[in-house]
Amino acid sequence: METRRLGRTGHLSSVLVYGAAALGEVTQDVADASVEEALAGGINHLHTAASYGEAELRLGALMPGIRDRVFLASKTGERDAEAAYRSVGTSLERLRTDRLDLLQLHAVGTVDELDRVTAPGGALEAAVRARDEGLVRFLGITGHGHRAPATHLEALRRFPFDTVLTPLNSVLARHAGYLASYEQLVEEVRAKDVGLMVIKTVARRNWPGSPTAATWYEPYTDPGQIRAAVSWALAHEEITGLATPGDARLLRHVLAAEADRMQLADAEQVLAADADLSSPFLAMPF
């Protein structure tokens, strides 16, 4: 699998980042098989969060045997310093490790949320403390929604985050305002040598009915469309990696897509042919 340098962290991360949201509600056997599939496919970067159900516990059961093979990232959704610091400790216990490679402030998609985490006594203080104490190596920020790229640009102006995880797919890029905000974020990322990762690469739309996958949005399930979506995202050289979707059943298709990418123009043609493709952020469950 291709690797790309994760900004100034210096880590050569696989361009597929394992999205452990897929492990939130599965058995340990399913988790074991999924993580093994990811590692066998060349993934070396695992991405989880305190709020992903049982995901940290599922990864923790495996961690003693794989810790030296992976770049391990987790997230805290807490907003005040005391709770965020406790969250880091709990994540380390659940993951059965003494350090995280990357701690990310979770779901900061608006300036209001950014104000909360960067205020005196906010979660950023806990993140810096955890880094200073050697509990984490690097700090990042993530977020959902149409305002996420602009919010993350402002975040980089306030604090030297090492990484950013922001949404990007072909339908979001068709909106001039969103694309402009994303391109401004890219300029800042490049100027400050920040690792840029993306989410919602294979999101198709909000669910039109009852969900049939373990994701809050409807993902692509057709292998050809997944190949187009992954190819489209990885054609953007500024992106160091994309998070795999939160359903373990889709991992094999995403791995296959990374290994057999199509040209950008061909990918755009496949995705443009889907009349139902729309932003997953028109209605969010949080």
Q: Is the pTM of this model over 0.95?
A: yes
Residue 239 confidence (pLDDT): 98
Domain ranges of the chain: 3-272
- pLDDT by residue, tens only, the chain of 286 residues: 999 999 999 999 999 999 999 999 999 999 999 999 999 999 999 999 999 999 999 999 999 999 999 999 999 999 999 999 999 999 999 999 999 999 999 999 999 999 999 999 999 999 999 999 999 999 999 999 999 999 999 999 999 999 999 999 999 999 999 999 999 999 999 999 999 999 999 999 999 999 999 999 999 999 999 999 999 999 999 999 999 999 999 999 999 999 999 999 999 999 999 999 999 999 998 8
Give which of 53, 49, 28, 144 is closest to 104, Cα–Cα: 49
Residues 6+ apart with CB under 8 A from 161: 139, 140, 141, 155, 194
Give which of 238, 205, 208 is closest to 220, Cα–Cα: 205
Longest dimension (CA), the chain: 51
> How far apart (Å, rounded) are the C-alpha atoms in residues 119 and 192?
23
DSSP secondary structure string, 180-219? HHHHHHHHHHHHHT-EEEEE-TTEEES-SSS--SSSSSEE
> How far apart (Å, rounded) are the C-alpha atoms in residues 257 and 233?
11
Residue 73 confidence (pLDDT): 98
Residue 286 confidence (pLDDT): 85
Fold of the CATH domain 3-272: TIM Barrel (3.20.20)
SS3 236: coil
Residue 164 is encoded by which pair of tokens? Answer: 């950013």
Residues 6+ apart with CB under 8 A from 255: 16, 37, 38, 41, 43
> How far apart (Å, rounded) are the C-alpha atoms in residues 202 and 243?
9
Count other C-beta atoms under 10 Å from residue 260's C-beta. Answer: 11
Residue 271 confidence (pLDDT): 97
